[in-house]
Amino acid sequence: MRLLCMSISLVAAACAPNISPAETPEISAEFSRLATRLDSIIAQEERTGFAGQVAIALDDEIVFTRAAGFADAEHHVPMRTDTLIFAASVFKYVTAVTVMRAVEDGEISLNVPMNTFLQTDSAELDTITLQDILSHTSGLGSSYAAESETSRDGALTAILATFDERADPGVFRYSNSAYDLVGIMLETVYKAPFENVVENLTGIHEYAVPFAFWSEIDLLDPHVRAQPIRPTPPELLNRNYGTMAAGGGLFSAESLVNWQIAVKREILTPESLQMLFTPRASMRIGDATFGGFLVDHPQLGTVFQARGYEDRGENTLLADVLDCGLTFAVMTTAGPVEGDQRPAYREIIGNQIFDLALEFCADRTEH
């Protein structure tokens, strides 16, 4: 078993207390007093419209999992703790982990130009490195050029056409298209579909149960995938390069936490983990890392986060409260949608979990 030299925790948020006792893991004595308060938070937010899940682990063991609301309100399909929810850009973190595995295997390097792998006519890819892309410092914009593109060549052409909008390299600029390029690069290097590359390098289906790639399931079945407030456009319901490396995975909150536990204990070496979580560029909420962010919390200190938001209503928060051993995740389909000025449920519930963590982590430090 590979051991991590730093503690990593996910921040996930809430799911409602409408689950059977069999679905609830045994809660440790030190955490049990907070579980009731978490249930109250989830129940309160469910009354305001929250539909989603929360799972929390202490010292790499799941101690709390809840589901709230409906996976499909129109047809009264309840949300379960094993219902899949689209994680949106949180999947960039999975892509980054996959890249680090490929680096460990010696198949790719972080600091060579992307054209080393892609061999296009693009002058920009003669200078942009994989490290630039993973840290959002390539200068590429946040377009969705590859959405609905079903062929690798078509997706690459669409992304290259956006390069005239490139900003100054070296400065943080969030980019979906850049991560789409990583998926195309991995397919080119391994001569296999992106999904196969991720599975073979990370074993994601083994460690994250349940999990599905975007292309693996019936996306309109609410018994499998929780349906967002706004329906998924028909042109995106099939495998496409815009719903792949930049955001192409579905988890439950519990499986997302278990994935993170596997990343730090099994999937990556300590050296790769240190590279994965090294701050790369300053931005509004903290510092960009490969696939995520380091955020300075006033009382809790540095927190690793991976964040996902989809304008149909899906949003996810993963966070790692360093040195506390507390891992939690919030997943929801309940918004807000694009144009709605309300804060996302990942923030509403996540911030309340942070508040509880202040007390809990302080007690752990004292003892």
pLDDT band with cut points at 50, 70 and 90 for residue 27 = low
| Helices 176-190 and 194-202, packing angle to 10 deg | 80
Distance CA 155, CA 152 (A): 5
Pair of tokens at residue 309: 């938001």
This prediction's pTM: 0.91
Cβ atoms 353, 11 nearer than 8 A: yes
Top pLDDT among 277 and 336 is at 277
| CATH homologous superfamily, domain 21-366 | DD-peptidase/beta-lactamase superfamily (3.40.710.10)
String of b and e for 110-124 (b: at least 16 CB within 10 Å)? Answer: beebbbebbebebeb
Q: Rounded to an integer, what is the distance from CA 57 to the centroid of its chain? A: 17
**Whose structure tokens read 């996302």?**
344
Residue 161 clears pLDDT 70, i.e. is over it: yes
Q: What is the pLDDT of residues 30-72, one digit of tens each?
A: 678 888 999 999 999 999 999 999 999 988 999 999 999 999 9
